[in-house]
């Protein structure tokens, strides 16, 4: 068994593990397992092999456990060892045994380590920017999942699927995810954000839409020696006559502390807020045909007009859309929209594994961009995924010297799929492909079966 494990570790390191040779060395993985006090037996699917198989599984188009086990068997063919069973039982049990905190720690480590490679040319006005947003993911309709992540109350029992709400913090420089929080579907984005803000470093700038523009959050971000650029919340009216005008469509406004403690804040947290807060408000108009939004008001704690001009902040807010693209990559490109775990613990592991795999692709893209002096956010993530999948057989069979050359070739062709920046592009919000004309489920499947039997 140890020989099989050693072969698989080598295979994964030479193929999908290669881009993580510095980010996720075996010594680090073992150290985290020891830190968590996780003890395991000497078996084929030990935590390291299970981790790499899990990451390979979420990166593949076919995300079945059977496909993951088949890949492991294919790696062992021709190595002169006894092949394991094709049953998925051992692998599925190994995923259950894998500590949830283990994958979480690895995810945070990769995001942090990739961020350390960011240089001055990747920053905005010398500042690191993190973009924040929330979304939902679906999962199998099991009793355990329904109890932990219940479906919307508007849906009848047995007619919907459990939903989890995720809040993600992305680096604007690398596109990688740097923080994640998971909660029930009816959780407000701002509640998730308050947990994510704990991962900010002094000097960071947070970029988000109007859901995050609250007095308490602006004050707390400022207390962390960070700054924020949010779109103004719709409940606050824009009054042109109030405030100190510092430029064209640019002014300083003094906000007063709310009279009542908002939901989601404890009384002690509310009491610690300052009585007033000076913010900068920038408003501009959008005259592009087809755009729903015609006027935008931005609120920021960046008060220095010399260091951060009006046009700099407007251009920065236009980059907020990258968070929508990143979430689309996770949910649509990688397939995280519909998860497969039948227990809440496995669902969370699956989400962490998707984020880890996503950061793997971003690592490849960032390394390719640095090697060939290309903006990392202008590279195609789907194309990078395709190239990695197709290069894995060559990486597996190449010698040590040829493997390095093959890897450099992989980086070179990644930059060929360059995604152009197309500002002002608008498309009609319509669908051409018609869905099947089946009615929606209005009662549980068991009730339908009873009606069919009695008919």
Q: What is the pLDDT of residues 148-167, one digit of tens each?
A: 999 998 888 888 999 999 99
- Cβ-based burial of 241 (10 A; exposed 0-12, middle 13-18, buried ≥19): exposed
Mean pLDDT of the chain: 88
Spatial separation of the C-alpha atoms in residues 362 and 21, rounded to whole Å? 14
Q: What is the pLDDT of residues 291-347, one digit of tens each?
A: 666 788 999 999 999 999 999 999 999 999 999 999 999 999 999 999 999 999 999
CB-CB contact of 208 with 200 (8 Å):
no
Q: What is the mean pLDDT of residues 392-418?
A: 84
Q: What is the pLDDT of residues 226-253, one digit of tens each?
A: 999 999 998 887 665 677 777 778 899 9
Between the CA of residue 418 and those of 38, 173, 318, 382, 395, what are the distances in Å? Answer: 43, 17, 20, 11, 24
Q: What is the structure's pLDDT at 154?
A: 87
Confidence label for 400 from pLDDT (cuts 50, 70 and 90): confident
Q: What percent of the chain has pLDDT over 90?
A: 56
Q: What is the structure's pLDDT at 1?
A: 59
Q: What is the structure's pLDDT at 241?
A: 65
Confidence label for 290 from pLDDT (cuts 50, 70 and 90): low
Query: Residue 104, by phi and psi: left (phi above 0), alpha (psi -120 to 50) or beta?
Result: alpha
Q: What is the pLDDT of residues 5-19, one digit of tens each?
A: 777 777 666 665 555
CATH number of 103-330: 3.90.350.10
Under DSSP, the state recorded for 331 is I
Q: What is the structure's pLDDT at 124?
A: 95
Q: What is the structure's pLDDT at 132?
A: 97
Give the residue, 238 or 142, on which the prediction is more confident: 142
Confidence label for 103 from pLDDT (cuts 50, 70 and 90): very high
């Amino acid at each position: 068994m140890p020989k099989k494990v050693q072969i698989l570790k080598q295979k994964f390191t030479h193929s999908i593990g290669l881009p993580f040779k510095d980010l996720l060395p075996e010594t680090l993985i073992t150290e985290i397992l020891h830190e968590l006090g996780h003890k395991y037996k000497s078996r084929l699917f030990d935590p390291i092999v299970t981790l790499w198989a899990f990451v390979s599984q979420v990166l593949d188009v076919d995300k079945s456990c059977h496909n993951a086990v088949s890949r492991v068997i294919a790696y062992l063919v021709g190595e002169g060892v006894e092949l394991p069973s094709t049953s998925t039982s051992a692998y599925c049990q190994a995923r259950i045994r894998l500590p949830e905190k283990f994958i979480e720690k690895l995810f945070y480590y990769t995001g942090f380590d990739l961020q350390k490679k960011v240089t001055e040319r990747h920053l905005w006005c010398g500042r690191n920017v993190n973009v924040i947003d929330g979304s939902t993911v679906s999962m199998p309709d099991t009793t355990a999942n329904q109890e932990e992540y219940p479906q919307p109350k508007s849906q009848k029992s047995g007619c919907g699927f459990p939903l989890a709400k995720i809040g993600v913090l992305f680096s604007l420089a690398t596109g990688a995810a740097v923080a994640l929080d998971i909660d029930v579907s009816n959780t407000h984005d701002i509640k998730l954000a308050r947990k994510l803000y704990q991962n900010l470093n002094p000097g960071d700038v947070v970029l988000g839409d109007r859901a995050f523009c609250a007095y308490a959050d602006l004050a707390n971000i400022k207390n962390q020696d960070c700054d924020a650029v949010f779109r103004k919340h719709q409940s606050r009216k824009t009054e042109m006559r109030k405030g100190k005008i510092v430029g064209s469509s640019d002014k300083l406004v003094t906000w007063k502390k709310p009279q009542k403690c908002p939901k989601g804040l404890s009384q002690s947290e509310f009491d610690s807020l300052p009585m007033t807060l000076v913010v900068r408000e920038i408003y501009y108009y959008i005259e592009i045909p087809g755009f729903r939004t015609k006027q935008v008001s931005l609120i920021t704690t960046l008060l220095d007009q010399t260091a951060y001009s009006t046009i700099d902040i407007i251009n920065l807010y236009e980059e907020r859309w990258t968070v929508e693209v990143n979430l689309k990559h996770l949910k649509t490109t990688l397939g995280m929209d519909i998860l497969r775990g039948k227990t809440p613990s496995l669902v969370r592991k699956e989400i962490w594994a998707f984020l880890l795999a996503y950061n793997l692709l971003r690592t490849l893209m960032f390394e390719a961009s640095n090697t060939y002096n290309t903006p990392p956010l202008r590279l195609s993530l789907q194309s990078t995924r395709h190239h990695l999948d197709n290069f894995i057989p060559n990486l597996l069979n190449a010698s040590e010297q040829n493997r390095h050359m093959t890897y450099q070739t992989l980086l070179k062709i990644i930059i060929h799929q360059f995604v152009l920046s197309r500002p002002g592009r608008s498309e009609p919000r319509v669908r051409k492909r018609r869905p099947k004309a089946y009615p929606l489920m209005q009662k549980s499947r068991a009730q339908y079966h009873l009606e069919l039997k009695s008919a």
